Structure 1
């Protein structure tokens, strides 16, 4: 196979140069096509192959914009290429001028069928332009279908995250109460032991409660670890749904923790195809950003690497490394796949560009990763891995100042005295669980309608926790009611969200300065939010 440059004529309305591969065993026929392209007004790069084997190798190394293929070749039929490369536009040409052959070529997926005896410059140019325009049209339809599918997936993921967050919240709250009860029992037993009564000591030593206390602590700790893992997965579902928290500011993040979280998220899907080996730098400087978005970057890189490697026994390997660089941190993902062609390297981060077979990739994984990395002030690029395969390297600026030393101790809500709290939540189980968590403070946990009735009757609260997404009366409706009728309470409002926030609600959240608590939230988070809300200045009517 050899390649030559095409003539430079009128600039194509498509980006770049049209890369035309002509597959024909007849040198004269290939030359006819080459000369026709040279005389055309199209900007082309001409390549040629004399049989199927050469064509396959050429297309695997560098896919063409359009392929002209002879029907009859020394090692098979040209139609075989169409089924092997279904995403490429093919024009079949042959010396056979009959309807059955033409129909068979078109049924196989050919965009056009030309007769060799009547080949002319204008007919070749017209066929190529038609094929490219048809391909462009199909690409637009495919992109729209992908966008619709991804939007539906995003809505589903956000809804699932919201539905999961509510039961997680009340299970977590109940475990917190159980843990407090355990500690109270331990305190009671310790105080009884201080009485120095032999009968009491004997009873404590022999009672099953004494023997089970340690085990109960371990059970609660294990349950909390499980909930933390589920909570992490829910957060990652939100990030994949492209619904970042509108109130979430960038924070300093441990990139090693992000890598570990992404490995857990993609564990099953990746482990089917490859073994992931992690080498994480100790004492890695932190970076500034949003952990959900960076988790998505790492997860996309892992999935891209897993899809690139062949299924083999033993499985291929993927290496994930973090490194320290001057003023920055580096993430490197290597794989044992075929690597990137030179063309793929140039377009790797283009939206919808993919080298995977139809149905195996949207072409958005690396594009999304690139956008997120650039949004974090970093860079991302692809290269060949020494020894074969692909390497993707991400560089992120290190945080300007690492948080060190002892944080200033803030007064606890208990130190601030007894709080009167209003909890507006549509889920009854969560209301009950959070009420138990917030004891001994005074808590009214109820629905939005009953909460507003209590406020109308003159009841005052130090803080108002309100779920954002509720049926009938939601968080925005509660805010607007307070804004109109009780504006002095607006500063006391703390929003709560499980993640399923639609465009209307996101727009609302951006326009206000009230804090938001992400479900599930622990006791310390809730009471700290309540303390801050109780100290915010009241708004004048």
Structure 2
């Protein structure tokens, strides 16, 4: 019997073979879905544990609070009783120099007991403060319940909550708090939770014995935001997680106790406050996470765009306009950069150098004149050549406010206030 003829690649496959392939595909898909379901169940179990832990923390804090209040109430009575007993102790010590009280010499008690009572009171007050922070931290809080507050307060509270965790991990913490931060409208407990999560995330990313975390606060006149920055020298954010880092249950820190919920919750709370969290890997290793929150100034302060090809001139103008902290400031190095910025960032006033490479001030003003959306923007021209013919062309277009270089800064600031109606 001859062999069956060769079946070409375009010949139809037997139905049984196609059915087997489909079964194998469905079995593989089913196994994949089962693994995903197991992962989700494990993550939900961990989330439930975290919720239960919050309830337990609140209960423990309540139970500790009752005996603690008794200690704090009795310590002042003990101090007062000691003050009344001290003369009797001295008299007894003179009559019987070898007499001991509670196994301790009278001289020792006279010298050390007041300090021992003071130390006990300080320790009890510290416990009371920790209990209060734990109770506040474990309590559910609505982001809509806000009050004026200083971001530095939330950062210091969060560091106190994490102090023992960071100490046990052998991590060095460097803290730089900016002075005179503008107040923000925020929920203190929510901000503490965000900063705690960022600190824990940083600690879990460090796997060596030279761990260091840097915490800084700052205010930016460029966007009117306050920010807290948490930087570590750990392993950084893996590339495969970078695009999903704020999704729930996304983590590579399971071995360190990570649940993948901290950054997700923090990002949600930041958005609820009108802010955001961004991050980047550090060139030398580690990552930097930044929480940025808007201040009332972001909505109220006039915006000014400074355009000059000389970086020193831009720096002088930015510093001069920053002193009263009344304006939100941006800068551009030439006319092209200025037009790009004007496309997305609409200032109330433009400080514009007339003579620049690539695109000069005259060309910028022609574009402004052709753009109805920029019709209300004030323009102050700056130049080191007061007699330059381009100034006549600019005046013909309606741009007549000119300040000569070098600047008289009081005159400059006065002109800015005048044009902005301040």
Deviation readout 1:385-426 (Å, 9 max, x if unpaired): 24322111101223679xxxxxxxxxxxxxxxxxxxxxxxxx
Cα separation, 2, equivalents of 1:355 and 1:323: 30
Contact 1:236/1:296 (8 A) holds in 2: no
2:158 counterpart of 1:258 = no
Q: Secondary structure at the match of 2:259?
A: coil
Contact 1:250/1:288 (8 A) holds in 2: yes
2:25 counterpart of 1:125 = yes
Cα separation, 1, equivalents of 2:218 and 2:122: 29
Cα separation, 2, equivalents of 1:256 and 1:341: 30
2:270 counterpart of 1:370 = no
2:137 counterpart of 1:137 = no
Q: How do residues 51-450 of structure 1 correspond to structure 2 at under 5 angstroms?
A: 122=22, 125-174=25-74, 225-241=122-138, 243-244=139-140, 249-271=145-167, 272-312=169-209, 315-326=210-221, 327-357=224-254, 360-398=257-295
Contact 1:345/1:383 (8 A) holds in 2: no
Cα separation, 2, equivalents of 1:267 and 1:386: 27
1:311–1:388 distance in 2 versus 1, CA, 3 Å? closer
Cα separation, 2, equivalents of 1:237 and 1:308: 24
Cα separation, 2, equivalents of 1:299 and 1:371: 15
Contact 2:72/2:125 (8 A) holds in 1: no
1:252–1:164 distance in 2 versus 1, CA, 3 Å? farther
Task: Report how far residue 220 of structure 1 moved.
Answer: 7.0
Worse-matched range after superposition: 163-172 or 131-140? 163-172
How many pairs are equivalent?
A: 256
Query: Rg larger in 1 or in 2?
Result: 2
Aligned residue in 2 for 1:38: none
1:227–1:150 distance in 2 versus 1, CA, 3 Å? same
1:235–1:125 distance in 2 versus 1, CA, 3 Å? farther
Task: Report how far residue 222 of structure 1 moved.
Answer: 5.3
Task: Report how far residue 336 of structure 1 moved.
Answer: 1.3
Worse-matched range after superposition: 130-139 or 251-260? 251-260
1:336–1:148 distance in 2 versus 1, CA, 3 Å? same
1:176–1:372 distance in 2 versus 1, CA, 3 Å? farther
Which of the two has greater helix per residue? 2
Structure 1 residues without counterparts, runs of 5 or longer: 1-117, 186-207, 402-541
Cα separation, 1, equivalents of 2:187 and 2:129: 14
1:283–1:296 distance in 2 versus 1, CA, 3 Å? same
Q: How do residues 459-478 of structure 1 correspond to structure 2 at under 5 angstroms?
A: none
Scaled by the length of structure 2, the TM-score of the pair is 0.51
1:302–1:359 distance in 2 versus 1, CA, 3 Å? closer
Q: Secondary structure at the match of 2:250?
A: coil
1:292–1:121 distance in 2 versus 1, CA, 3 Å? same
> Which structure carries more relative contact order (alpha carbon 8 Å, separation 6+)?
1
Task: Report how far residue 255 of structure 1 moved.
Answer: 2.4
1:282–1:306 distance in 2 versus 1, CA, 3 Å? same
Contact 1:254/1:284 (8 A) holds in 2: yes
Contact 1:286/1:398 (8 A) holds in 2: yes
Deviation readout 1:112-157 (Å, 9 max, x if unpaired): xxxxxx9x86466334412321122112311331133123212211
Cα separation, 1, equivalents of 2:78 and 2:218: 42
Contact 2:233/2:287 (8 A) holds in 1: yes
Cα separation, 1, equivalents of 2:188 and 2:75: 26
Superposition RMSD in Å: 3.9
Contact 2:141/2:189 (8 A) holds in 1: no
Cα separation, 2, equivalents of 1:244 and 1:151: 11
1:141–1:124 distance in 2 versus 1, CA, 3 Å? same
Deviation readout 1:475-533 (Å, 9 max, x if unpaired): xxxxxxxxxxxxxxxxxxxxxxxxxxxxxxxxxxxxxxxxxxxxxxxxxxxxxxxxxxx
Cα separation, 2, equivalents of 1:264 and 1:160: 18
Task: Report how far residue 375 of structure 1 moved.
Answer: 2.7
Contact 1:239/1:293 (8 A) holds in 2: no
Task: Report how far residue 365 of structure 1 moved.
Answer: 1.4
Q: Secondary structure at the match of 2:45?
A: helix
Cα separation, 2, equivalents of 1:290 and 1:227: 28
1:122–1:240 distance in 2 versus 1, CA, 3 Å? farther
Task: Report how far residue 354 of structure 1 moved.
Answer: 0.9
Contact 2:204/2:256 (8 A) holds in 1: no
Q: Secondary structure at the match of 2:243?
A: helix
Cα separation, 1, equivalents of 2:141 and 2:206: 34
Cα separation, 2, equivalents of 1:177 and 1:400: 51
Cα separation, 2, equivalents of 1:225 and 1:378: 38
Scaled by the length of structure 1, the TM-score of the pair is 0.41
Cα separation, 2, equivalents of 1:292 and 1:175: 31
